[in-house]
Structure 1
Amino acid sequence: MLKKIVIKNYKVFRDFSLDLNPGVNVIVGDNDAGKSNLLEAINLALTGRLRGNAVAAELSPFLVNLEATRKYTEALSASGAPHPPEILIELYFDDTEDLAALKGTNNSLRESAPGVKIRVCFNIDFIDEYIAYTAGAASVTWAPTEYYQVEWTNFAGAAITARGVPATATLIDATTIRLPNGGDAYLQSIIADSLDTRQRVELSRAYRSLRETFGDIAAVKEINDKLAGERGEISDRELSLSIDISQRAGWERSLVPHLDELPFPYVGKGEQSSLKILLALTEKIADTHVVLIEEPENHLSFSSLNQLVHKINQKCAGKQVLVTTHSAYILNKLGLNELILLTNMGGQRITDLRNETVDYFKKLSGYDTLRLVLAKRAILVEGPSDELIVTRAYRDEHGRDPIADGVDIINVRGLSAARFLDLAVPLAKPVAVINDNDGDAAKMEQRYDDYAAYDFVSIHIGAGEAVTLEPQVLAANDLARMNEILGTNYPTDEAMLAHMKADKTGWALKVFESEQPITMPQYIRDAVRR
């Protein structure tokens, strides 16, 4: 198993390190956080290949981190010929006896550990060409990877090949898999395992008979007669159309995957994506140690995703798995404890969630836990009316919607707010909780005593005798103002409250959409000001 990865100057990663779980690792992060780059780097260090080719054939200035490139070009303009930036990817393995040949301190951390590394660096053989190239420093805008070489070594310092790497990797990205190849290979393996010699002979004979059958079709005869009449125009030999039954194009390779009698290219994108992933797992998983899966949820419905996750769990049992995802369902089902929130410096982890919290999110997978994980700041509210009112309060306070600032207002239905705080604490995620006082503000605050020590968590409870949101908003304004905003004409506070409680979302939506000024309760204003 892989214990750690270190990456320097590769794509989005300037100086990155991440400890890995021995089983499942669920990688989440914003767009461009480096999720795909991470899987690519692991696969590169284990296979020496990038996009299916030897990495030396894929070298490009765009593989080098942009910040490293910028510092290089600035130094080039200032001092003449600085050392070009290097790419480094290191994989640290479990320290076991069978990996002793890979063990050493030939790594950036100077740890005595077994491992392998890819180093893409300047080749000193090109020093003269490099000096001539950098003489025009003003025109140099990218790292000169034409003068680079690739070094693939273990931590003992010895050069290695793919055979010298003890762990094998399978990178599965449904958007790049060309199914006909994978499908053909999988179908051929089924044929080889399922058909005896007599059945194969009969299928071969039936396939060959298609040539005569095809040639007897009236439309085909007509075309072939016309082609025969044009001998000499194209070739002196007779030209005709028929089925290729040569060994190269035998019946085994002519099979096309069908789903419910539809050829594969004609089925939905979700079915294609799921089938590609499962075929890749079936074909490649047996001898693989590390399985790298890129966003398996693409194009899939909730029920299809449920089936796919179940099958991934089955097929990858005992493997080390890294899954990148934007799906809360994937996150909840594969394990919140395996969550890694990715940044271009490293990963924040959740490893000590209480069992009841993990179970809670697994059972209620509809909760979009990733909204909390990926938000810059979250405000937890009790219901849809609270969500509308708090959004309006934020807009009044800051002049823009909260989402524009990366602030997500999440309806967590009151009692589950503590579960979301359990999720926020290991990530040090700034969170505000807004709750009704339910008639006892002190008791409500005690519910969150376990989180009082965290300065990034704030609790905001409605004060006074107003128990819920409706009387709080009415008390902060007056009857005339609420009638004006809601377009009503209630004569008493009691009648107004009865209306608001009977149509909780309706009155909140009118406040949200109204351009009339309104005064928000103090506890809500405090929450949105932080």
Structure 2
Amino acid sequence: MYIEKLNLINYKCFEGKYTIEFKEGVNILVGNNGEGKSTILEGINLTLSGLLNGKYLKNEISQYLFNKNVVKKYIADLKAGGKQEILPSIEIELFINSKTPEKLKELAILKGNNNSDRLDKHGIKLEIKFDDSYLKEYEILIKDKEIITLPIEYYQMKWSSFGRDSLTSRIIPLKSILIDSSSTKYQNGSDLYISKIIKNYLDEDKKVGISQAFRQVKEEFMRSEYISKINDDLKEKIDRKKLEISVDLSTQNSWENTLITILDEIPFHQIGKGDQCIIKSKLALQHEKTSQAQILLIEEPENHLSHTKLNELMKIIEEESKGKQVILSTHSPFVANKLGLNNLILLKNRKNTRLTELNKETYKFFKKLPGYNTLRLILSQKSILVEGDSDELIFQKYFMIKNEDKLPINKGIDVISCGLTFKRFLEIAILLNENVGVITDNDGDYLNNIEERYRDYTKYENIKVFADKRGDLNTLEPQFVNVNVNDIKKLSEIVREKKKKVETEAELIEFMIKNKSEWALRVFESNQILEYPEYIKKAVEWCNDEE
């Protein structure tokens, strides 16, 4: 079983109806902050479990679950004397499918057209809507009082199948588990997240054993001569009423809230955040309930993890998720590349796009070499691809000159050093219609190395390639010396830390080629006025073009 589609209506950041489709296996949600990645994961888990942040939704309904624009419109309509009987509602719809006939039979109880698409499908619908039984109270409220917030006390949660039958979590044949390794909820020094996971590993006999052991500890505490003496002293000081120091005996399973997890003799909440994240994720992924769940929802697994630890976690996710559907959110290009760009869903401006049409070799390339920062290109307004550090520094320096000392990133333009893998990145840019510029050397043959090599890419309006046509000026270094040839002494003084004599053009070019990053950094940090190659200028002009 797997989720094939999700509809979110008026839930949190999604105003109106938002639809996203998923496939079997891995689905990777990427997007800038505020695009709704966490909300999508939360909405799925909520609809399958009825739980929000570990608590039953029916007891946690609040105005903040509703899209704020929808609430503002409702209040404005009331003040303007509009249709007062129409109150905002939330709907979350999960379309569920299976390619196995046996599993489809299990889903039969969910089939119907009780969804906003009016399709006869298998699915689950969760609604937060006005309870009509409060209609009279509501009419009195809006008549006698100016409403400035949503009257949430008159709302109810309705959980039903597409066949219109009421549901409970036990009836739903599809199970999910939400793994958020970044959550840190402490109570009495105990990490509730990990304590809950470990507690769930125990069978009933072990739970009873722990409960009895805990009671023995409590009884021993009460029998202590020190506690007895303190309580005797309290009796003398307080008249009539009996005041004592004791241990919490108010609940049958109070031991659960007293457990604290220890790792190598150190309380779990005192170890490093990175170790916390990977242990939480491992325990959750290897837990018995995870093996029963068909849907794994994973929130930003990269949190607090080093590159090595993240690679370790990716292997665990790949191994433990076999035969399951994974829906994962991330800001990490390593995670996206490692799990496959063909599984990526880009969330941008309330639309979602899949990278399903890239060349198969490109998918393999980024999966084998996941260090490339593909997400920077995907999430930026414009990108400039360069071969190395010197090109990046010189481009950024001229950009700052033309933009009041602002770096490209300050205007939403990312400069990405990607060696000679331009074509791999350009495939992504074409598919997503991202604006991307390439700054590159002609390497002595403009016709073959620029025109012919990029012919299939430059026919797209969103792709621009910037290079000089002169074969004798084959790289950035001779280009830069050439435009500053009339002030070769000043350039030499800037790019060399110590200058012993006046240099020729050839000597300076040779030094710069041997010290690419060094000379470019000195130009970048210099306040001296220099000239810049024409193709660098054109690249900056293209970046500044607002179209």
Corresponding residue to 2:276 among 259, 272, 276: 272
For residues 23 and 98 of structure 1, the distance between their equivalents in structure 2, rounded to whole angstroms, comes to 20
Corresponding residue to 1:514 among 526, 530, 541: 526
Partner of 1:417: 422
TM-score between the two structures when normalised by the length of structure 1? 0.86
Corresponding residue to 1:406 among 406, 412, 415: 412
Counterpart residue type for residue 281 of structure 2: I
Corresponding residue to 2:509 among 487, 497, 502: 497
Change in Cα spacing, 1:189 to 1:94, as seen in structure 2 (3 Å) is: closer
Matched-pair contact (CA < 8 Å) for 1:121–1:149: yes
Partner of 2:44: 42
Cα deviation, 1:419-444, whole Å, max 9, x if unaligned, reads 11122222222111111000111112
Partner of 1:162: 169
Shift, 1:231, TM fit: 5.6
Shift, 1:280, TM fit: 2.3
Partner of 1:94: 97
For residues 61 and 246 of structure 1, the distance between their equivalents in structure 2, rounded to whole angstroms, comes to 33
For residues 88 and 243 of structure 1, the distance between their equivalents in structure 2, rounded to whole angstroms, comes to 45
For residues 252 and 37 of structure 1, the distance between their equivalents in structure 2, rounded to whole angstroms, comes to 30
Change in Cα spacing, 1:36 to 1:165, as seen in structure 2 (3 Å) is: same
For residues 211 and 93 of structure 2, the distance between their equivalents in structure 1, rounded to whole angstroms, comes to 50
Matched, 1:56 2:44: no
Shift, 1:44, TM fit: 1.4
Partner of 1:18: 20
RMSD: 3.6
Question: Could you say what secondary structure the match of 1:367 adopts?
Answer: coil
For residues 249 and 280 of structure 1, the distance between their equivalents in structure 2, rounded to whole angstroms, comes to 23
Matched, 1:441 2:457: no
For residues 81 and 254 of structure 2, the distance between their equivalents in structure 1, rounded to whole angstroms, comes to 64
For residues 52 and 505 of structure 2, the distance between their equivalents in structure 1, rounded to whole angstroms, comes to 69
Question: Could you say what secondary structure the match of 2:524 adopts?
Answer: helix
Question: Could you say what secondary structure the match of 2:279 adopts?
Answer: helix
Cα deviation, 1:163-186, whole Å, max 9, x if unaligned, reads 332211111212336575554565
Counterpart residue type for residue 299 of structure 1: H
Corresponding residue to 1:309 among 294, 309, 314: 314
TM-score between the two structures when normalised by the length of structure 2? 0.84
Matched, 1:455 2:456: no
For residues 149 and 517 of structure 1, the distance between their equivalents in structure 2, rounded to whole angstroms, comes to 68
Question: Could you say what secondary structure the match of 1:232 adopts?
Answer: helix
Question: Could you say what secondary structure the match of 1:322 adopts?
Answer: strand
Cα deviation, 1:22-45, whole Å, max 9, x if unaligned, reads 111111111111111111111111
Matched-pair contact (CA < 8 Å) for 1:169–1:288: yes
The alignment-based identity, stated in percent, is 38
Partner of 1:322: 327
Counterpart residue type for residue 283 of structure 2: L
Partner of 2:545: none
Within 5 A, what are the aligned runs for 1:285-300?
A: 285-300=290-305
Counterpart residue type for residue 330 of structure 2: T
Partner of 1:70: 72
Corresponding residue to 1:473 among 480, 485, 505: 480
Question: Could you say what secondary structure the match of 2:298 adopts?
Answer: strand
Partner of 1:257: 261
Cα deviation, 1:443-489, whole Å, max 9, x if unaligned, reads 12222233233221111222212100011122223341524654796
Question: Could you say what secondary structure the match of 1:285 adopts?
Answer: helix
Matched, 1:145 2:127: no
Matched-pair contact (CA < 8 Å) for 2:385–2:436: yes
Change in Cα spacing, 1:447 to 1:152, as seen in structure 2 (3 Å) is: same
**Which segments of 5 or more consecutive residues in structure 1 lack a partner in the other structure?**
none
Counterpart residue type for residue 68 of structure 1: V
Counterpart residue type for residue 152 of structure 2: T
Shift, 1:221, TM fit: 6.2
For residues 53 and 176 of structure 2, the distance between their equivalents in structure 1, rounded to whole angstroms, comes to 14
**Which segments of 5 or more consecutive residues in structure 2 lack a partner in the other structure?**
99-103, 543-547
Matched-pair contact (CA < 8 Å) for 1:210–1:243: no
